[in-house]
Structure 1
C-alpha cells in the first residue's frame, strides 16, 4: 500500500532501520538518519544503499536546524535506562537511570527539541514495555506530558510481535499527530494478522537441501547449519546447572529450549553471549544457537526464499546485538499502514495549502 503522494520522514536512533522499513512500505521517503553505533551504520548503509543522505552519528552533536524539514519523525530512542535488565544493572553499579542517566536517559529530550523546532505532522516512538512502569510510572508521565505540551494528540500501546513472527516481543509504541491536523487515529486501528500465528519452523534453516548454502551460516550439500552454532559441551553443562540452581531457588531464570513448533522468547542484544534465551534442540547433538540469518527472519527483516535477503555485513556478535535491539519489521509495517490514511490526508492538505498560498 502506498499513499500515492509521498511524505518525508527522519529516522532517529535508527539502529538497522526497522521503523524505516515500515514507512517506506507506505510510500515515505527517508531524508535524514542518525545512528551512533558504527557497526549498525555499516548494516544500515548496506541495506539502504540508494540513500542520497549520509548516516549521521551522535544526535546530540547535530543542531536541529541542520535536520531537513520532514512530515514524520521516527525514533527508537535508547531503552537501556528504562528496561528491567538495564535498571537492575545500573542499580547494582550504583548508577542513575531514567532521565537522571546523563548518557542515555536524556536522549529523549533530543527528540523533544527536534519536534519543537520542526513541528512535523506526526511521530512514532518505540521503546521497551518497562518504560510504562519505570520509576513507578513517573518516567512515562514525563514523556507523555512533554509530547502533549508540544501540541500533539498522543496515543500509546504495547504490541507483541508474536502476531507476525515466532517470538514474544512486547514493545511500547507511541504515536502523535499535531493537534492542528486533527485525526481520529488510534493504535487500536493496527490490524493484527489472522491466525494461525507462525512458529519457529517458518524461520529455521531446513537443512534438507531445499535452501541455498549460505556460508558461514550453513554448509554442505544439504545446507545444514554450520557446526560452530552448536553449543560446546562445557557451555551446555553450565547452562543446565545454572537453570537447575535457579529453579531450586524458585526463580524463573534458565535457558529456553525450542523446537520447530515452538514460539521463542524475546531475542535480546545479549544473545551473542550464550544464546540461552533461544536454543534449538538437535537430535543426537547439544542444542545450538540461531544463526544470524535465522535472527533476520525472526525479526521479519527477510523471509526464506526472499529475492532480496537482508544483508548481514558484520560479525555474528554484532549481528546478534543489532537484531536483538531492532524493531520487528512487520510490526512497523502494520503501524505505518494504520497511520497511512492520515498521512495521506496530511500530505494532500499540505499541498492544497501551498497551492492556496
Structure 2
C-alpha cells in the first residue's frame, strides 16, 4: 500500500530535498563568486554568495550592531581559490562554460588558449574533488535542475559539453527540440536557446554517429541547425593519437556558430606531424609493486583470451610496447587489461596488496593513473587527490586535452573580435 501524505507534508518533503540540493551548491556558488571577484560576472553569483559568506566568516560589530564580512577572511578565501595549479589566465580574452565537466579536460584546454570559465557543472562527487584541487572551484551539481541553470551567467562566448549519449523518442516524428525532452542533450539545448553563446563545442563517443540507427545524431543536428539557428558543419571523428598523445582514442566532435555571426565554414585541425609512443609518457621511476599482476591473475587473463581466440573473437588483454600507442582507455570491462605494459625494472617482488599467487616475474603491470593522465594530455602538475580506482575512472571518462585544444583554437580564430 502506498503511503498517503497531505499537501503540507508533500510540500515539506519537497522543501527538504530542495534544501539539501541547495546546500550542495553552496560551495559551487562561493567558489564561482570568488573566481569572478574582479570582473562583471561576480554580480551573477553575488547575492547568494554574500549570504553564504556571512554564514561562515561574518563577525559581529557589537558597538554599531551591524554584520559585516571580515576582509581578512575574504582575502584568505580568495587566496585559496587562486593558489591552485591551473588558475584563470590574468588577461583572459574570452569566456566559456564547462558542462558535464568531469575533471576539467575542456577547461584545461580552453584556459591554455586564454579563456576564463564562468560556470561549470558536474554531478560526480569524486570528480568534483579533483576539479576543485586543480582549479580552485567546485562545480555545480545537477544541470537538469532549473535553479542550477539559473546560475549560468549571460554573455559567455563558448559552451563546452561532453554530454552523455541518450536515445530520443522520435519514432515517426521530425526529431526536433521537443523530442529530446528527458535527455541530457535537451538541457544543453535549452541552455543554448536561452544564453545564445557565439559558439558551441560538443564531444561524445564515436558510437554517437550510429546510435539508435543514426537517429540520435540526426536529431541533435536538426535541433542545433534549425531549432536553435546555429551553423553546424558536419561532425568529425577526431583521434587523440594525431594530437601528441600515444592513445588510439576516437571521439566525435560537434561544433557550431550562431548564424548571425556570418560564419559559414569551419576547418577541423590538421593532425600534428610528430607522433609519439608510450615510451614518452612511461613512468621514469620504478613503479610500486601493487601495479604488477599476480601470476594467478595473469594466467586467468591468458585463459580468457585463448577462449575468445578459439571462437574467432579478438577480446582479451593486450600488452603495449614502448614504441607503440595504447588502446583507448575506458572505464570498466577490460579497460586496464587492454593496456598492460612490460616494465622489468621491478626489484622487490614482495606483494604489497592481497593477491592470489605471486607477483609475476615477466614484468607485466598495469599502467599507473599518472600514465593514464598523460595519455589524455594532462600535465604532470595536475593533482590526483583520489584513490586509484576513482582516478582510473576519471581519466578514462575524460577528454583528450590536446585534441580539444587544437579544435578549440580553430573555433576561436573565427569568433575572436566578433561582438
Matched, 1:19 2:109: no
Partners of 1:151 and 1:33 in 2: CA distance: 24
C-alpha deviation, 1:62, in angstroms:
3.6
Counterpart in the other structure of 1:124? 201
Find the partner of 2:184 among 107, 110, 124.
107
CA distance in 1, matches of 2:208, 2:110: 24
Unaligned 5+ runs, structure 1: 82-97, 207-222, 304-308, 351-357
> Contact (CA 8 Å) 2:231, 2:264: kept in 1 or not?
no
Q: Structure 2 stretches of 5 or more lacking a match?
A: 1-88, 170-180, 345-360
- Shift in CA distance, 282/157, structure 1 to aligned 2, threshold 3 Å: same
Shift of 1:8: 1.2
Matched positions, count: 301
Q: Secondary structure at the match of 2:260?
A: coil
Q: Match of 1:84?
A: none
2: CA distance between counterparts of 1:41 and 1:204? Answer: 27
- Structure with bigger RCO (C-alpha 8 Å, 6+ apart): 1
Which residue of structure 1 aligns with residue 237 of structure 2? 158
CA distance in 2, matches of 1:166, 1:327: 14
Runs of 4+ in 1 over 4 A off after TM superposition: none
Measure how far apart 1:286 and its partner are.
4.6
CA distance in 2, matches of 1:194, 1:132: 27
TM-score, length-scaled by structure 2? 0.68
Contact 1:236 1:286 in 2 (8 A): no
Hey, what does 1:88 align to over in structure 2? none
Secondary structure of the residue aligned to 1:301 is coil
Residues 270 and 320, structure 1, Cα contact 8 Å, conserved in 2 = no
| C-alpha distance after superposition, 1:268-321 (max 9, x if no partner) | 0127x7721100023443511111111111110015xxxxx1100001000000
Q: 1:187–1:254: structure 2 CA closer, same or farther, 3 Å change rule?
A: farther
Corresponding residue to 1:247 among 309, 312, 321: 309
Residue 184 (structure 1) shift: 4.1
Paired with 2:287 and 2:222, the residues of 1 have a C-alpha distance of: 49
Equivalent-residue separation in structure 1 for 2:405 and 2:253 (angstroms):
13
Could you say which residue in structure 2 is the equivalent of 1:280? 341
| 3-state SS of 2:223 partner | helix
2:142 aligned residue (58, 68, 71): 58
- State yes or no: 1:194 paired with 2:285: no
Q: Distance in 1 between matches of 2:94 and 2:379?
A: 25
Alpha-carbon distance, 1:65 to partner:
3.5
> 1:118 and 1:300, CA in 2 relative to 1: closer, same or farther beyond 3 A?
same
Alpha carbons of structure 1 residues 280 and 236: separation in structure 2 relative to 1, 3 Å: same
Q: Is the 8 A contact 1:78 1:105 kept in 2?
A: no
Q: Deviations for 1:231-288, whole angstroms, at most 9, x for unmatched residues? A: 11221111111111001101111111112111110000127x7721100023443511
Larger Rg: 2
Residue 191 (structure 1) shift: 3.0
- Alpha-carbon RMSD across the aligned residues, in angstroms, is 2.2
Q: Aligned partners of 1:99 and 1:325: how far apart in 2?
A: 23
Partner SS for 1:267:
coil
Q: TM-score, normalised by structure 1?
A: 0.80
Displacement of 1:28: 1.2
User: What are the equivalent positions in structure 2 for 1:218-237 lying under 5 Å apart?
Assistant: 223-237=285-299
1:67 aligns with 2:147: no
